[in-house]
Amino acid sequence: MILISIDLMDGKVVRLLKGNPKSARVYSDDPVSVAGKWIDMGFGLHVVDLDAALNMGNNQKIIERLLRLNGFKEVSGGIRSAEHARRILDMGADRVVIGTMAFTDRQSLLSLKGLPVAVSIDVSNERVSIFGWQKITEINFLQAMKELERDGFDRFEITFIDMDGTRLGLNTKLVEPIPFSMRKNIIISGGIRLDDVEAVKGMGFAGCIVGSDAYEKIYSKNS
């Protein structure tokens, strides 16, 4: 599965470098149009509410419109309660992606067991980052996945923060430690290029999320 990231900030489609809000590059002020183009090209959508993740507001009205589009759509960013997760699913999301809540409120996460939920593992120097990547914990990301798997969650989305937005491509050294047996349920991101898709599949992963590379190679030329 190839997903294109729709990162929302102040109602616009943006891309950040390594999660730094000050690095935001605006690609469009019409997220629905952008999303529609990606869907028409056969991609799924990975929608991120950056404002919600950073406690700077939210883009709920835009997300509601995005979820009316055809095609696969998952939503992440600032979803820190079970009620919020269920509301997103009720709005039409095919999957909800939980990050911070998985590490700060495990009971609420457990209440979502059985629903189409993926846990976001955002990694910096092998440690899990939370609260919009603004806080790095002491939790090792591989250990976190094993614990979550024991709790009944086996679908993960791993982002390597120091690669995100760089367009440097698949870093095999970062992904090699991930057990092969778990990869079939893992989507990876962070610097991934469209040219890396086959390599990602070859390493046994379920798919990848492409951001900046897709916008620079395709959208900016066809906007």
Give the SS3 label for residue 35: helix
The Cα–Cα gap between 130 and 186 comes to 19
- What is the separation, in whole angstroms, between the first and last Cα of the chain? 24
What are the helix (H) ranges across the chain? Answer: 31-40, 50-53, 60-66, 82-90, 100-104, 106-110, 141-150, 172-175, 180-183, 197-202, 212-214, 220-222
Distances (CA, A) of 65 to 7, 23, 55, 123, 180: 14, 26, 21, 30, 37
Radius of gyration (Cα) for the chain, nearest Å?
Answer: 16
164 is catalytic: no
Most distant CA atoms of the chain, gap in Å: 46
Q: Give me the catalytic one of 49, 51, 122, 213.
A: 122
90 is catalytic: no
Token digits of residue 187 = 């989507």
Which of 167, 85, 164, 158 shows the shortest CA–CA distance to 128?
158
Q: Give me the catalytic one of 7, 49, 164, 213.
A: 7
Give the SS3 label for residue 196: helix
Residues marked as catalytic: 7, 122
